[in-house]
Amino acid sequence: MDYTVENKILTRMKKAKRGVAFFSSDFAAYGDTKACNKALERLTKQEKIMRVARGIYVIPQKGIFSNRIPPSIETIAAALARRDKARIIPTGLFALHALGLSTQIPMKVVYLTDGTPRKLKIGKATLVLKKTTTKNAATHGKISGLAIQAFKAIGKGKVEDYEEEKIVAILKKEKKEHLVNDMKLAPGWIRDIMRKTLINNNI
């Protein structure tokens, strides 16, 4: 019976794109917890799937130099958010990296979330979902939410002209309604910088 569970799990994962994250709970309909866990363990040992963190599995993507490329932390964070129906926002150095203001990828990636806080070890990196207030998680735009966190990471009075110019330029790609909404949620000094996007576009 365990091998039937194993085949069902592998078939389902193969129907998805490589690199799509699955949780052990996704296979609850195929058998009890013990049977599913054993099946996942066998598939991992056979290198048919990859365990990227506790309870999280993928069929890894293939690269030029490797047939087993693990998913990015962003992919895992997004999968957790979808599963938990939660909102997440990158913070700190990772927000700066996402906006192209830093080439450094931190070993500890922190997201704000209105869902369940957690910490996961993914390879050599650590993913932290940090509980935040409803207000902080209420941003509508991906770009404007990132911009707010990037400015916070830099700090009030420490934003260089080139950093401001680059973020303002990126914010021009944000939907107007998202930008207007998210400006209201930002601290005053950040709101004043974000407003320049509207002024420069004569909105």
pLDDT in tens, 78-119: 999 999 999 999 999 999 998 988 888 888 999 999 999 999
Distant-in-sequence contacts of 25-34, Cβ < 8 A, 24+ apart: 25/55, 30/5, 31/1, 31/2, 31/4, 31/5
pLDDT in tens, 13-46: 999 988 899 999 999 999 999 999 999 999 999 9
Q: Give yes or no for residue 67 having a pLDDT over 80.
A: no
**DSSP assignment of the chain, as one string?**
-HHHHHHHHHHHHHHSPTT--EEGGGGGGGS-HHHHHHHHHHHHHTTSSEEEETTEEE--B--SS-S-BPPPHHHHHHHHHHHHT--EEE-HHHHHHHTTS-----SEEEEEESS--EEEEETTEEEEEEE--TTTT----HHHHHHHHHHHHH-TT---HHHHHHHHHHHTTS-HHHHHHHHTTS-HHHHHHHHHHHHHTT-
What's the pLDDT score for residue 45? 95
| Local confidence band at 122 (pLDDT 50, 70, 90 cut-offs) | confident
pTM of the full predicted structure?
0.80
| Local confidence band at 7 (pLDDT 50, 70, 90 cut-offs) | very high
Residue with token string 């401001």: 164
